[in-house]
Amino acid sequence: MDIRMIYFVVSALLVTVTAQVYIVTMEGEPIISYQGGENGYEATAVESDEKIDTSSELVTSYARHLERKHDMILGMLFEEGSYKKLYSYKHLINGFAAHISPEQAETLRRTPGVKSVNKDWKVRRLTTHTPQFLGLPTDVWPTGGGWERAGEDIVIGFVDSGIYPHHPSFASHHRLPYGPLPHYKGKCEEDPHTKKSFCNRKIVGAQHFAEAAKAAGAFNPNIDYASPMDGDGHGSHTAAIAAGNNGIPLRMHGYEFGNASGMAPRARIAVYKALYRLFGGFVADVVAAIDQAVHDGVDILSLSVGPNSPPTTTKTTFLNPFDATLLGAVKAGVFVAQAAGNGGPFPKTLVSYSPWIMTVAAAIDDRRYKNHLTLGNGKMLAGMGLSPSTRPHKMYTLVSANDVLLDSSVSKYNPSDCQRPEVFNKKLVEGKILLCGYSFNFVVGTASIKKVVATVKHLGAAGFVLVVENVSPGTKFDPVPSAVPGILITDVSKSMDLIDYYNVSTSRDWTGRVKSFNAQGSIGDGLAPVLHKSSPQVALFSARGPNTKDFSFQDADLLKPDILAPGYLIWAAWCPNGTDEANYVGEGFALISGTSMAAPHIAGIAALVKQKHPRWSPAAIKSALMTTSKVVDRAGRLLQAQHYSDTEAVTLVKATPFDYGSGHVNPSAALDPGLVFDAGYEDYVGFLCTTPGIDAHEIRNYTNTPCNYEMKHPSNFNAPSIAISHLVGTQTVTRRVKNVAEVEETYTITARMQPSIAIEVNPPAMTLRPGASRSFSVTLTVRSVSGVYSFGEVKLKGSRGHKVRIPVVALGHKR
């Protein structure tokens, strides 16, 4: 051990406070990820999630080495008998648990080589909470044999940034044995360094696609990994949401945040890496990945990827290599879930357009992480911070970053970001709460809360406050787990209250230098989530309709998005080398937001529907999910959507189908929808052929099918929704439903619409035997031209309890 530091022995006689259990993590890799590098110890990193061979000499010698380091640091710092080491963590993390005093814990925090010291603490036990929020453990998993069988024999393909195969969310040992998968024939690449496969019995396929990226000169094998290894984090996160193992303990910074689970925890994972950390991806590589996935035999495709804007190389959004390849996938029986995009709350920001794709918008579920800062003048300022509190019943001095610099010349580093501890006067910061500025650097990722935490720990501060002084539309604030007390004040008016209080309380000389710091405050406990009934809500960033049919942004006669699913603050697996989120570099889990998180929720739920109904077409699965979705929140009120007010503050407005599609997914009802609106390849081609402005030759080039115009109008495509972008006078559309229940049922059909458009249905009722299909018509008539879309719905209520609902949107025009 290289000893270039001085340790001080702390006498047991000085310990006056009751000892507690602390978890200490150390620098250096644990067995599972140790790649070598320390003299005398060869690599022990496990590949392909195989079980660690604890009898291996390589493993046992490195384990002894780590434990010796743990014992040495405790023995050099503290007198024997003044502490008790409880565990040495060597396999999954490198660290130890010890029963020590708060003073000893503080000494450890300041010791070089120590990454974190956290008091062992348990918060309310919630999972990566969306399985419970969606009712999967109680209403869905039991119908298929419990979570141990949820998604059995279903293969979900992920076209994303790869996977970190060593994560416990993807482990196959200590699970029920998996049976053979004769229908899946995917390949498993080997790690180029270890020559071991990326697959196990859970991960059944792993390939990467980068030829286009290489040709463009964008690919760097040292950074991007010429393998399925996830160098970004995004791919591991999405795979775990859809199909991660159930009951994986989620722990960070010594705090327990419940157990993680995918929607279909028994489903298999097939990885098709085509996205990379620095440049994203190229359509040529993505198309190759989709093509290979379909060839290999995946059942579901999860795509958290899409074009930045409607393609300009073709005349329509529906016909481009990306969407056409997905049409081929659906033809082959593959269900496709795609993220709607993150351009909300502005209209026409969707990046997923076609009727054969299920376009998924993002919802906020019922869990919120809130915190507060209490000032010395009694004011309490709301904010967010997934962190412990400062010591109860104690106020701490507040110091602004700009007032505690070692040298004013360091201002070139933008010190208010609190990213560099070396620029601060430790004596002025130690034991105080450091006030930092949330600048644009945090928005673009060049500054991170993780580095603020590191600064605070290095300086020995009691905590930190990040102050938002101005905000741009589109800025997204998410709570970030922190090992030290911390809070982000996102409301600019609250930030001004804090700044005013600090300035009034701080005494300065004539040069502006601080004579005395008199402002005080304390940070609350932000670890425990608060559950809200006013959920779900449409997330601010979630892309909105109307759907567009061409790069001129003309409205399409097809409603998008299709459905709403959780996509805000989703806990799931991460890879230690992931860089997609600066605040989670080196972590095993991440709490992030985006429609990228919503799409795999639907992919996993679709796997559960596919498991119960293996012969259903992708359109039937899509229909079941859409027609059973909910348009009210948990309090029984109509869904709301986050939006911007006139002052650019985030507010809530009444949501419309352009925000949520058919509604929020309701998995238990989707397993037994009663009726489905089915469609096949010819129907999709018919939609293309009847959409004005699409050249028939272009359609044939992409589909190898001649046009058939029997559909007459794209609104007649048998979607579980109705959209008419140019309604003049009266127009009648038809829909055909199939009874997928096991009994005969009579349905009454009703409809309602906003006043400017009249709506009628025919027939008013119909009876369907099991497996039978019937058609009905919906007639829309313009009453008055308002210049805005009118919204409504058609309901089919069954005599045996089934409820089927489809949204209707129409824009009336003058004759």
Active site residues per annotation: 160, 234, 596
Residues 114, 120, 122, 123, CA torsion sign: negative
Hey, is 273 helix, strand or coil?
Answer: strand
β-partners of residue 380 are 374
Q: Could you give the count of Cα atoms lying within 13 Å of 366 in the half-sphere of its Cβ?
A: 18
Short-list 423, 283, 301, CA closest to 351: 283
The two tokens of residue 198 are 């990326």
Which amino acid is it at 643? H
Count CA atoms within 13 Å of residue 340 on its CB side: 42
Say how many Å lie between the first and final Cα of the chain, rounded. 86
DSSP state of 504: H
- Cα–chain center distance at 76: 43
One DSSP character per residue, 215-252 reads: HTT---HHHH-SSSB-SSSHHHHHHHHHHPPSSEEEEE
CA distance 522 to 395: 5
* Contact (CB, 8 A) for 400 and 424: no
Return the number of other C-beta atoms located less than 10 Å from residue 295's C-beta.
11
Q: Tokens for 263, please give them.
A: 């929607």
Spatial separation of the C-alpha atoms in residues 404 and 99, rounded to whole Å: 35
In what helix (H) or strand (E) does residue 40 lie, and over which residues does it extend? none
Alpha-helical (H) ranges within 371-439 are: 426-429
CB proximity list for 494: less than 8 A, separation 6 or greater = 381, 382, 383
Strands 773-782 and 730-739: antiparallel
- 149 closest CA partner among 159, 166, 136, 158: 136
Q: Tokens for 599?
A: 């799409």
Contact of 530 with 370, CB cutoff 8 Å: yes
Contact at 8 Å (CB) between 687 and 642? no
Write out the two tokens for 557. Answer: 């006669």
Q: Which residues of 306-321 are buried (b: 16+ CB within 10 A; e: fewer)?
A: bbeebbeebbbbbbbb
3-class SS string, 389-401: CCCCCCCEEEEEH
Burial 681-700 (b: 16+ CB within 10 A, else e): bebbbbbbbbbeebeeeebe
Query: Which residue shows structure tokens 């590191």?
Result: 454
Query: How wide is the angle at C-alpha 794 spanned by C-alphas 633 and 564, nearest 5°?
Result: 35
SS3 content of the chain, % helix, strand, coil (to 5): 25, 30, 45
Please give the angle made by the CA atoms of 501, 504 and 508, to the nearest 5 degrees: 130
Residue 496: count of CB within 10 angstroms of its CB: 13
